């Protein structure tokens, strides 16, 4: 019988991130998400959880290891297959995994999850499992192990029964000429086409195989076609790590977009993985894959050459991506990216394929590898399910409710978040009930301000047109009210009326003073109101060398930047200021700085105070600019102590990954190039040893990870200097007043930049060690010294004790430590003074940390002599008394014996006389 039990407990909730988590006894090997439940597989257990992880059912799976986990929603069953003697499959009730529907000894896939693949496909009116086994071997003991790729039944009513591969009496399967050369990565079905992705290490290629599921198993398997995927222009990356089909309701019919994470295994490259998008739509150029065969492969390999598909675009480059999940929201494509260092990154791409700023949804403290597979919540599409080691998490895709007001909701720059007009709150689109309008960011990613403005002077120079534009996208059935109001009497009565999304103000150029003019504009969109202050400046007065700062000032004032000059003339420049002004040339004569090094260049995501940059021509640098690969918002730090060859600056906190560094000159240019890499936070899991003596200066080793980033230890409120070498971090304890036999416990924390990270354990102070006496024994030319010490809790090692023999007149000789032995509540510290045949030790100087004791040999006093003599006399008296008493007792016994014998003899004489 299966051991099935139920448990109900609350999952841990991280209120900072708003996520649900559930921890398991073993590492998560696979998981799947259905409409009602989440299913998780560890080494020997199968779990069923609701979407919030508040109800958990556990099923023991000791007799087989699950490698394929398939929720069959249409049939309300859960298909599990894995390794046993020759494979085992069981079909469970989708809503109650303790209920078994069907079980069978059969191999579906392979005995190893890494070489298996299985997913459900629809062919005509029937559903099958497309199962792959990249370690297919013809075996008499396990006949199912010979099939590289097959279609298996999912129900008993199908031809041949559950898990059968027969098709109208025949056996249909795909074979391969390259046994064990295919490593399956992913598979899915879109419409009638089935897509299978695998790595072919022998050829260093990523292979895509198509099937067309029309009628029957044989027809479907015979339809196979193939192509190689090539990535990418900057560097060849020939291995696929994870993939996801991109939902495509808004793309042309039949076009299938797909995203994959590729790597070239360039471990020294700080950006060794890329996310690329391909069009994998079936086409007339497809050819039969020469490495695959329907049925057994014949000796002669076809000469067919596979087509090569290249990416439409490379979306993202990052260090060590492990997984990807794609979703669509209106015109946006949203990618959720997992990394090897434990981050979940959200990346949005607009309708023009412009990539928005990445943002980190989750960041683990340790480098926990994200599972290659992630799932979007099938009910509300507002959560992502992911796994890290022995945890599964439900992470919100956005935090819309935390934004107050239309402007704050817009500033979140999140395609998932918009302003629900009827409820006056920031929400997901599907949480805003119709017919209410939902106002979000525009469907392109060029705008950095919710209201922008532009000024243009008419040809006569007498009139200026001020145009204010709101960058909003309105979704809904109602046509929202749109109104604008420019403060004061600036605008002429002849100004054009507002037309969403623009407002107009026509005024005389004489109303613009030389010092500029602040103009307030109030804009109403339905019930939502915006208020912005616009600073108008005479565009002709913005002059000077064509620097980045001058261009930025021109664009911010609403003027146009043309031919490296600011003007009133209208311009088509509509992109971000940074993009337009990036190529502005400087008229200032500065020697261009060169960055040689940054120390440290690798640090924790908490940052680093007082980092040192070395290089050339650094004396004119005003600040250091840092741009992360996963953030559009740069960090800048002021500099100090800067000379021509070095400067000091703070590296702020950031997200894990690489950051590009340049230095900013007074003209706004950012020059030079360097890289800083953020790693995980240091952790302190324990202390070794976990106690010390009151006088202090005991070496304490910190146990944990990423300890090279620690700047100090906070010990009972004091910041103590640490030492790091060869992966070990340690410090020496300060003294601490301790009463006799009274332990004192103190906290220990790590200091990292501006953060204090607590250790998992505390340190205990005890009174100093108690050394009582010593003896010496001559062994040849060496003198063996045995020091007695009361047993304590320190577990002192020989390396912690220093012993010197005192010879007199400030002469010392070293006693080399050998061993510490414990016997009958006493520690014996044994050391040896070598090559000293005639040495006379007056005393010992023992040092342990900051504790020092001078131990003298035992001395014999007059009182001790008297006591010894008296003791001897008493012993002699006792002995003599004993001897006298012994002989006296023996004499009395002999006299009594003689008396008795005389009496008996006398009695005998009397008896003889009487008889006579």
Write the pLDDT tens digit of every residue in 495-521: 899 999 999 999 999 999 988 899 999
880 lies in some domain: no
Residue 368 has pLDDT above 90, yes or no: no
Tokens standing for residue 795: 């577990």
Q: What pLDDT, on a 0 to 100 scale, did the predictor assign at position 915? A: 62
Instruction: Single out the residue in 808, 826, 855 at which a domain terminates.
Output: 855
Note the pLDDT tens digit of each residue in 646-684: 999 999 998 888 889 999 988 778 889 999 988 889 999
- What pLDDT is attached to residue 201? 82
Do 834 and 814 have their domain in common?
yes
Determine the pLDDT at residue 859.
64
Residues 537, 462 within the same domain: yes
- The pLDDT value recorded for residue 914 is 65
**Whether residue 493 sits in one domain with residue 552:** yes
Q: pLDDT of 75-110, one tens digit each?
A: 999 999 988 778 889 999 999 999 999 999 888 887
Distances (CA, A) of 764 to 555, 721, 735: 63, 19, 12
The residue among 30, 655, 600, 628 whose CA lies nearest residue 342 is 655
Q: Give the residue from 80, 236, 84 showing the smallest Cα distance to 145.
A: 84
Residue 486: which pLDDT band, with cuts at 50, 70 and 90? very high
Do 779 and 757 share a structural domain? no
Is residue 253 over pLDDT 60?
no
What is the structure's pLDDT at 889?
A: 80
Please, are residues 428 and 335 in contact by the beta-carbon 8 Å criterion? no
| Domain co-membership, 495 together with 537 | yes
Report the 10 Å Cβ neighbour count for 504: 16
Residues 194-241: tens digit of each pLDDT: 999 999 887 888 999 999 988 889 999 999 999 999 998 778 888 999
Q: Supply the CATH number for residue 562's domain.
A: 2.60.40
Proportion of the chain in helix, strand, coil states, percent, rounded to 5: 10, 45, 40
Whether the CB-CB separation of 118 and 188 falls below 8 Å is answered with no
Q: Residues 482, 570: one domain?
A: yes
User: Which residues are bridge partners to 670 per DSSP?
Assistant: 664
More confident residue, 737 or 667: 667
Q: Note whether residue 794 is domain-resident.
A: yes
The answer to whether the beta carbons of residues 232 and 314 sit under 8 Å apart is yes
Q: Is the pLDDT of residue 860 over 80?
A: no
pLDDT tier, 271 (very low <50, low <70, confident <90, very high otherwise) = confident
List b or e across 206-224, with b for residues whose CB sees 16 or more CB atoms inside 10 angstroms.
bbbbbbbbeebbbbbbebb
- Going from the C-alpha of 283 to that of each of 255, 256, 818, the distances in angstroms are 10, 11, 80
Q: Region 812-839: what's the mean pLDDT?
A: 90
Percent of the chain with pLDDT over 90: 50
Which three-class secondary structure state does DSSP give residue 555?
A: helix
In angstroms, the CA 6 to CA 487 distance is 67
How far is it, in rounded angstroms, from Cα 156 to Cα 757?
58
Question: pTM (2 decimals)?
Answer: 0.79
Find the mean pLDDT for residues 533-544.
90
> Other CB atoms closer than 10 Å to residue 460's CB: what's the count?
7
Which residues, 6 or more positions from 907, have their beta carbon under 8 angstroms from its beta carbon? none
**Which structural domain, as residue segments, surrounds residue 539?**
451-574
Residue of 251, 371, 290, 383 lying closest to 323 (CA atoms):
371
Whether 500 maps to a domain, the answer reads yes
User: Is residue 858 predicted with pLDDT exceeding 80?
Assistant: no
pLDDT at 868: 74
Residue 605 has pLDDT above 70, yes or no: yes
Between 667 and 247, residue with greater pLDDT:
247
**Bridge partners of residue 44, in order along the sequence:** none
pLDDT for position 269: 67
Q: Tens of pLDDT along 618-643? A: 999 999 999 887 777 788 999 999 89
Sheet holding 375-376, edge to edge: 12-14, 19-23, 391-396, 383-388, 375-376
Output the DSSP codes for 512-549. S-TT-EEEEEEEEETTEEEEEEEEE--GGG--SS--HH
293 lies in a domain? no
In sequence order, the β-bridge partners of residue 659 are: 628, 676
- Closest to 604 in 3D by CA, of 685, 720, 703, 706: 706
> What are the angstrom distances between the C-alpha of 93 and each of 37, 378, 703?
12, 19, 46
Q: Over 90: is that where the pLDDT of 286 sits?
A: no
Q: Is 878 helix (H, G, I), strand (E, B) or coil?
A: helix
Same domain, yes or no: 780 and 670: no
Q: Which of 595-609, 664-678, 887-901 has the lowest mean pLDDT?
A: 887-901
Say how far apart CA 551 and CA 534 lie, in whole Å.
18
Average pLDDT over all residues of the chain: 86
Give the residue-averaged pLDDT of 816-834.
92
Res 459: pLDDT: 82
**Measured at the alpha carbon of residue 519, what is the angle toward residues 515 and 520, in degrees to the nearest 5?**
150
Question: Is residue 599 a part of any domain in this protein?
Answer: yes
Counting residues of the chain whose pLDDT is more than 70, the rounded percentage is 91
Residue 13: pLDDT above 50? no
Q: Within 10 Å of residue 378's Cβ, how many Cβ atoms?
A: 14
Residues 464 and 564 in one domain: yes
Three-state secondary structure call for residue 350: coil
Does 758 share its domain with 802? no
Flag whether 640 is in a domain: yes
Q: Which residue has the higher pLDDT, 80 or 368?
A: 80
Domain closes at, from 712, 744, 766: 766
The pLDDT score that the predictor gives to residue 384 is 96
pLDDT greater at residue 110 or residue 533: 533
Given pLDDT bands bounded at 50, 70 and 90, which one contains residue 14? very low
727 and 837 belong to one structural domain? no
Read off the pLDDT of each residue in 23-36 and give the average, rounded to a whole number. Answer: 92
- The closest alpha carbon to 602, from 672, 661, 684, 647, belongs to 661
pLDDT at 206: 93
pLDDT at 441: 92
Residue 906, C-beta contacts closer than 8 angstroms, at least 6 positions apart: none
Indicate whether 404 belongs to any domain: no
Question: Which residue from 396, 397, 388 is spatially nearest to 23, judged by alpha carbons?
Answer: 388
* Count of structural domains within the chain: 4
Residue 474 domain-assigned (yes or no):
yes
Q: Are residues 741 and 818 in the same domain?
A: no
Q: 527 and 625: one domain?
A: no
CATH of the domain at 657: 2.60.40.10
Position 272 scores a pLDDT of: 83
Domain boundary among 720, 742, 766: 766
Average pLDDT over residues 406-433: 92
């Amino acid at each position: 019988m299966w051991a099935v039990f139920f448990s109900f407990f609350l999952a841990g909730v991280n209120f900072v991130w708003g996520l649900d988590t559930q921890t398991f006894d073993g590492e998560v090997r696979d998981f799947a998400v259905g409409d009602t439940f989440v299913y998780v597989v560890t080494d020997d257990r199968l779990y069923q959880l609701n979407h919030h992880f508040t109800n958990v059912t556990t099923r023991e799976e000791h007799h087989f290891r699950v490698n394929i986990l398939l929720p069959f929603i249409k049939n309300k069953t859960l298909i599990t297959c894995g390794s046993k003697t020759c494979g085992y499959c069981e079909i469970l009730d989708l809503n109650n995994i303790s209920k078994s529907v069907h079980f069978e000894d059969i191999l579906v896939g392979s005995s190893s999850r890494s070489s298996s693949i299985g997913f459900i496909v629809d062919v005509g009116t029937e559903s099958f499992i497309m199962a792959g086994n990249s370690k297919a071997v013809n075996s008499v003991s396990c006949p199912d192990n010979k099939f590289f790729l097959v279609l298996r039944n999912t129900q008993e009513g199908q031809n041949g029964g559950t898990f059968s591969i027969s098709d109208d009496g025949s056996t249909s399967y795909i074979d391969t000429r390259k046994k064990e050369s295919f490593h399956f990565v992913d598979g899915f079905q879109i419409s009638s086409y089935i897509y299978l992705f695998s790595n072919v290490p022998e050829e260093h290629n990523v292979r895509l195989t198509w099937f067309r599921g029309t009628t029957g198993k044989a027809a479907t398997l015979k339809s196979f076609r193939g192509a190689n995927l090539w990535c990418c222009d900057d560097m060849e990356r020939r291995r696929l790590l994870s993939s996801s089909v991109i939902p495509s309701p808004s793309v042309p019919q039949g076009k299938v977009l797909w995203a994959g994470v590729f790597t070239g295994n360039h471990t020294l490259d700080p950006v060794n993985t890329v996310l690329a998008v391909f069009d994998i739509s079936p086409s007339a150029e497809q050819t039969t894959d020469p490495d695959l065969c329907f049925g057994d492969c014949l000796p002669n390999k076809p000469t067919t050459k596979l087509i090569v598909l290249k990416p439409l675009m490379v979306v993202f480059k990052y260090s060590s991506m492990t997984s990807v999940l794609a979703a669509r929201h209106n015109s946006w494509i949203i990618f959720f990216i997992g990394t090897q260092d434990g981050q979940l990154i959200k990346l949005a791409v607009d309708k023009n394929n412009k990539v928005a700023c990445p943002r980190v949804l989750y960041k683990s403290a340790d480098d926990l590898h994200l599972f290659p597979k992630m799932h979007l919540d099938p009910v509300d599409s507002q959560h992502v399910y992911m796994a890290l080691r022995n945890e599964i998490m439900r992470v919100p895709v956005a935090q819309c409710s935390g934004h107050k007001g239309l402007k704050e909701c817009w500033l979140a720059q999140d395609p998932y978040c918009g302003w629900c007009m009827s409820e006056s709150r920031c929400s997901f689109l599907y949480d805003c009930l119709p017919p209410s309008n939902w106002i979000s960011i525009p469907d392109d990613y060029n705008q950095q301000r919710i209201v922008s403005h532009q000024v243009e002077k008419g040809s006569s120079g007498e009139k200026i047109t001020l145009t204010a534009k709101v960058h909003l996208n309105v979704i809904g059935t109602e046509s929202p009210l749109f109104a604008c109001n420019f403060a004061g009497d600036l605008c002429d009565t002849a100004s054009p009326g507002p037309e969403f999304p623009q407002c107009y103000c026509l005024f005389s150029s004489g109303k613009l003073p030389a010092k500029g003019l602040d103009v307030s504009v109030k804009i109403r969109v339905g019930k939502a109101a915006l208020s912005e202050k616009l600073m108008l400046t005479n565009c002709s007065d913005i002059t000077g060398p064509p620097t980045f700062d001058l261009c930025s000032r021109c664009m911010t004032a609403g003027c146009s930047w043309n031919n490296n000059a600011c003007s009133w003339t209208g311009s088509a420049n509509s992109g971000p200021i940074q993009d337009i002004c990036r190529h502005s040339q400087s008229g200032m004569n500065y020697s261009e700085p060169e960055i040689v090094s940054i120390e440290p260049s690798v640090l924790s995501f908490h940052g680093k105070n007082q980092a040192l940059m070395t290089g050339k021509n650094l004396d004119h640098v005003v600040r250091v600019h840092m741009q992360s690969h996963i953030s559009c918002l740069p960090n800048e730090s002021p500099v100090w102590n800067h000379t021509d060859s070095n400067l000091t600056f703070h590296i702020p906190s950031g997200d894990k990954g690489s950051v590009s560094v340049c230095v900013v000159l007074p003209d706004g240019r950012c020059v030079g190039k360097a890289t800083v890499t953020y790693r995980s936070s240091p952790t302190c899991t324990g202390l070794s040893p976990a106690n010390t003596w009151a006088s202090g200066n005991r070496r304490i080793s910190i146990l944990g990870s990423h300890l090279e980033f620690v700047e100090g230890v906070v010990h009972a409120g004091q910041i103590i200097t640490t030492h790091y070498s060869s992966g070990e971090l340690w410090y020496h304890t300060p003294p601490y007043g301790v009463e006799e036999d009274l332990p004192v416990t103190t906290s220990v924390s790590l200091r990292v930049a501006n953060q204090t990270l607590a250790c998992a354990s505390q340190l205990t102070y005890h009174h100093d060690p108690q050394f009582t006496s010593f003896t010496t024994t001559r062994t040849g030319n060496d003198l063996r010294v045995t020091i007695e010490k009361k047993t304590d809790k320190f577990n002192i090692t020989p390396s912690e004790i220093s012993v010197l023999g005192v010879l007199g007149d400030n002469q010392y000789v070293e006693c080399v430590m050998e061993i510490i032995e414990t016997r009958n509540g006493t520690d014996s510290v044994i050391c040896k003074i070598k090559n000293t045949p005639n040495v006379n030790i007056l005393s010992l100087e023992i040092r342990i940390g900051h504790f020092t004791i001078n131990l003298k040999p035992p001395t014999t006093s007059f009182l001790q002599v008297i006591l010894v003599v008296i003791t001897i006399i008493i012993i002699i008296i006792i002995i003599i008394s004993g001897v006298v008493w012994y002989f006296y007792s023996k004499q009395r016994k002999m006299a009594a014996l003689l008396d008795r014998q005389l009496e008996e003899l006398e009695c005998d004489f009397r008896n003889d006389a009487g008889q006579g």
